[in-house]
Amino acid sequence: MEIDAAHIDIWYIEPEVVANAERLGRLERWLDDEELARANRFRFKEHRDLYVVSHALLRGALTQCAQSQTQQINPADWRFKNNAFGKPFVEQPDPYQNIAFNLSHTEGLAAVAVSQAGRSGIEYIGVDVEPLSRKGLDLALARQFFSTEEIAAAAAITGAEQAIRLLEYWTLKESFIKAVGQGLSIPLESFAFRLGSDTTSPVLIRNDVLSATSTNWQFWQFQPTTAHVTALTVGTTGTHRPNVSIKRADWLL
């Protein structure tokens, strides 16, 4: 399987558009016993539905990826294994073990970023979604988690603009942590971002812990719905910038 240009798809879905009994029942049949057991441990239907939709979205996104290479893998056929920090990877089918992917879910939205199978040069992917309505993320909290550079940049603005800026830093930092896949063993203040604008991408301006690796880290920010922000981190073996498409997963409906 040889790939020309590196490409990443971000598939997203609002769980409420899937959440009727017939659709959920169909998606549940894609999940394995472990996922179903986790789904059934949620006390609230809303949380259970989000879990089912998110994991069906992940399985469906991997199936879409295989289909783009004319391979038919049923969503229920994917098998996963986790690293020591809980980050999932494909275990089966064998030819797809090198697909980089990551899942994020939050109130009102699930999103999966997935690379192509084959030699795309994409080693690491991390994605994070958060609602714009997220409460409690203020400068005081940022001072506990963010780098000095990020705190200074956020402190220079106020009001709604500052709240959005903090959320943008948060999702970027989460997406980076998730791409690396070692949880909070990478301290959140050990790396710092400068945010992008309409025409520029976010930039990692300091990276104390992972500076010795040859991975090239690249970042994107999106607003997939009017109510959510999303950040994507991709680690590549070369300096090429992958193409990224963000699309609603209407194939779940």
Ligand X SMILES: CC(C)(COP(=O)(O)OP(=O)(O)OC[C@H]1O[C@@H](n2cnc3c(N)ncnc32)[C@H](O)[C@@H]1OP(=O)(O)O)[C@@H](O)C(=O)NCCC(=O)NCCS
Binding site for ligand X (CB under 6 A): 51, 54, 85-88, 102-105, 126, 128, 145, 170, 173-174, 177-178, 181, 183-184, 188
The residues near 198 (Cβ < 8 Å, ≥ 6 apart) are: none
Question: Which tokens belong to 57?
Answer: 């979205």
Instruction: Kindly state the smallest distance separating residue 160's Cβ from ligand X, in Å.
Output: 20
Instruction: Kindly state the smallest distance separating residue 2's Cβ from ligand X, in Å.
Output: 28
Q: Which is nearer to ligand X, 54 or 64 (CB)?
A: 54
Instruction: Kindly state the smallest distance separating residue 98's Cβ from ligand X, in Å.
Output: 17
Instruction: Kindly state the smallest distance separating residue 126's Cβ from ligand X, in Å.
Output: 6
Residue 172 CB coordination number (10 Å): 26
Q: Which is nearer to ligand X, 89 or 251 (CB)?
A: 89
Instruction: Kindly state the smallest distance separating residue 79's Cβ from ligand X, in Å.
Output: 14
Instruction: Kindly state the smallest distance separating residue 7's Cβ from ligand X, in Å.
Output: 21
Instruction: Kindly state the smallest distance separating residue 5's Cβ from ligand X, in Å.
Output: 25
Q: Which is nearer to ligand X, 6 or 154 (CB)?
A: 154
Q: Which is nearer to ligand X, 20 or 83 (CB)?
A: 83
7 burial (CB, 10 Å; 0-12 / 13-18 / 19+) is middle
Residue 214 CB coordination number (10 Å): 7
Coil, helix or strand for 129? strand
The residue length of the chain stands at 253
Question: Which tokens belong to 98?
Answer: 């090198």
Measuring CA to CA, which residue among 32, 25, 160 is closest to residue 88?
A: 32
Which contacts qualify for 192-200: CB closer than 8 Å, 24 or more apart?
192/147, 192/148, 192/149, 192/150, 193/147, 193/149, 193/150, 193/169, 193/219, 194/149, 194/153, 195/153, 195/165, 195/168, 195/169, 195/221, 196/221
Q: Which is nearer to ligand X, 1 or 138 (CB)?
A: 138
Coil, helix or strand for 13? strand
Q: Which is nearer to ligand X, 3 or 36 (CB)?
A: 36
Q: Which is nearer to ligand X, 1 or 124 (CB)?
A: 124
